Amino acid sequence: MRIQLLGTGGYYPNDKRHTACYLLAEAGIVLDAGTATYRLPALTRDEHQDVFLTHAHLDHVFGLTFLLVPILNQQYRRVTVHGTQQTIDAIQNFLFQDVLFPVDPPFQCEVIPPTGEMVIRDQYRVRWQPLPSHPGGSTAFRIERFGEGVAPSSFAYVTDTRVDGSYVDFIREVDLLIHECYFPDDKEGLAELTGHSIARDVANVAREANVGRLIAIHVDPQSNEEDPIGLEGMRATFANTELAVDQMDVDIP
**Chain residues in the site for Zn ion (CB under 5 A):** 10, 57, 59, 160
Measured from the CB atom, is 106 or 136 closer to Zn ion? 136
Give min distance, CB of 148 to Zn ion, in A: 38
Instruction: In whole angstroms, give the CA distance from residue 220 to residue 110.
Output: 31
Measured from the CB atom, is 59 or 220 closer to Zn ion? 59
Instruction: In whole angstroms, give the CA distance from residue 195 to residue 134.
Output: 4
Q: What three-state secondary structure class fits 179?
A: strand
Q: Render the burial of 6-20: b for 16+ CB within 10 Å, e for the rest.
A: bbbbbbebeebbbbb
Give min distance, CB of 20 to Zn ion, in A: 6
- Tell me the residue number closest to Zn ion, measured at CB: 57
164: left (phi over 0), alpha (psi -120 to 50) or beta: beta
Measured from the CB atom, is 32 or 175 closer to Zn ion? 32
Instruction: In whole angstroms, give the CA distance from residue 220 to residue 226.
Output: 12
Give min distance, CB of 205 to Zn ion, in A: 18
Q: What three-state secondary structure class fits 140?
A: strand
Give min distance, CB of 41 to Zn ion, in A: 23
Measured from the CB atom, is 10 or 28 closer to Zn ion? 10
CA 217-159-103 angle, to 5 degrees, is 100
Give min distance, CB of 160 to Zn ion, in A: 4
Measured from the CB atom, is 4 or 87 closer to Zn ion? 87
